[in-house]
Amino acid sequence: MTPKHIFGPVLSRRLGLSLGIDLTPFKTCSYDCAYCECGATTVKTITRQDFFPADEVIAELRTVLAPHPHLDTITLAGSGEPTLSRSLGPVIVFVKREYPEYTLSVLTNGSLMTDENVREELLPADRVIPTLTSVFQETFERIHRPHPSLRIEEIIVGMVQFRKMYSGALWLEVFVIPGLNTTADELAGLKDAIEQIKPDHVQLNTLDRPPAEGWIEAATDAELEQVCEVLGMSNVEIVGRKYPVSQVTKANTEVSDLVRATLCRRPSTIEDLVRTTGLSGGEVAKILGMLEREGRVTSQRSSRGVFYAILPERTNNGDT
């Protein structure tokens, strides 16, 4: 049976070979980010809910992890904000108790770090990676289009509080949008906030796939290097330079299923699929041709090439 809540492994630009756990329905989030590759948020909320029984997710994990696959990380991510799910704590505890050999990461927008219960539930995770793009409410709202109750200064305070109690690896994602959060004032504010939060590592990210809004543009390498220089910190990394080669093998996996599973989670070019699946370009092109003839994929040209995605009505879940 195909898992409903577990996906991958996929090759993440940020984390390497990652097995994903999706704890929310598509597309339930506290933000509606203009740059999101999943498209527009359909349910915008800050209310934590029991979307799926934790036991259901755990049962799938037992099956998928039974052969002890090679992974760089197990990642709580997916089609929305994972901290909205009340299954967050039980799933984290299960993975760390039953499979301590795996690194457990949580990708979060950070918005619910204002909640003491969320901060407590995240503590057993090996690595927590919240997002910060601006310290200014106006910029924050333009980029993330958050739930109207959210204030960026309160979110930053929540991150600072979490850092004080968390002994694991706290990484911080800074999503760079040229001309929007790259001005002198924006970067000075970010630098000050980062110094308050004290993350172990900072990842500079930028647009890599078609966004929800067409006005979002990717930062160039030169612009990302300039942001690094302004921040002036030794623990800053530009995303995408660490994992150039996939470690995924085709063993015991139907190749067409592997391509479909990847596209269900993230729009990808043929080159992306080659790196992620370990297949040849010819194999990938053949599978995409079959899926196109069946009306199961759509394509969209972007500055980085042609991106393929599973048609929305064919999927149950979203992207990492």
Task: Indicate if the pLDDT at residue 5 is higher than 90.
Answer: no
Question: Could you give the CA distance from residue 247 to residue 260 in angstroms, rounded to a whole number?
Answer: 18
User: pLDDT, tens digit, for every residue of 160-186?
Assistant: 999 999 999 999 999 999 999 999 999
Task: Indicate if the pLDDT at residue 238 is higher than 60.
Answer: yes
Pairing type for strands 43-44 and 104-108 reads unpaired
Question: Could you give the CA distance from residue 170 to residue 73 in angstroms, rounded to a whole number?
Answer: 15
| Class at the top of the CATH hierarchy for domain 6-244 | alpha beta
In which region does residue 174 sit, left (phi positive, over 0), alpha (psi from -120 to 50) or beta (all else)?
Answer: beta
Q: What is the amino acid identity at position 239?
A: V
Residue in the block written with tokens 């739930």:
147
Mean pLDDT (whole number) for 242-247: 47
Task: Indicate if the pLDDT at residue 1 is higher than 60.
Answer: no
What is the share, in percent, of the chain residues with pLDDT greater than 90? 59
More confident: 313 or 234 = 234
Residue in the block written with tokens 């009306």:
295
- Count of beta carbons in the 10 Å neighbourhood of residue 182: 17
Mean pLDDT (whole number) for 99-109: 96
Task: Indicate if the pLDDT at residue 246 is higher than 90.
Answer: no
Question: Could you give the CA distance from residue 303 to residue 307 in angstroms, rounded to a whole number?
Answer: 10
Looking at residue 256, its pLDDT comes to: 73
Looking at residue 2, its pLDDT comes to: 65
Looking at residue 255, its pLDDT comes to: 65
Q: What is the CA radius of gyration of the chain?
A: 19
Strands (E), the chain: 6-12, 16-22, 28-29, 43-44, 73-77, 104-108, 127-130, 169-175, 201-205, 236-238, 297-302, 305-310
**DSSP character for 126?**
S
**DSSP character for 115?**
S
Contact 31/141 with Cβ under 8 angstroms? no
- Count of beta carbons in the 10 Å neighbourhood of residue 212: 17
Mean pLDDT (whole number) for 2-24: 83
End-to-end CA separation in angstroms for the chain: 21
Question: Could you give the CA distance from residue 164 to residue 77 in angstroms, rounded to a whole number?
Answer: 24
The domain locations on the chain are 6-244, 248-320
Least confident of 9-23, 102-116, 121-135, 138-152: 9-23
User: pLDDT, tens digit, for every residue of 201-237?
Assistant: 999 999 887 788 888 999 999 999 999 999 999 999 9
Size of the chain in residues: 320
Q: What is the mean pLDDT of the chain?
A: 86
In which region does residue 209 sit, left (phi positive, over 0), alpha (psi from -120 to 50) or beta (all else)?
Answer: beta
Task: Indicate if the pLDDT at residue 253 is higher than 70.
Answer: no
Topology of the domain comprising 248-320? Arc Repressor Mutant, subunit A (1.10.10)
13: exposed, middle or buried (Cβ count in 10 Å: 0-12, 13-18, 19+) = middle
Question: Could you give the CA distance from residue 160 to residue 142 in angstroms, rounded to a whole number?
Answer: 23
Task: Indicate if the pLDDT at residue 55 is higher than 80.
Answer: yes
- Whose CA is closest to 96, among 48, 128, 140, 137? 128
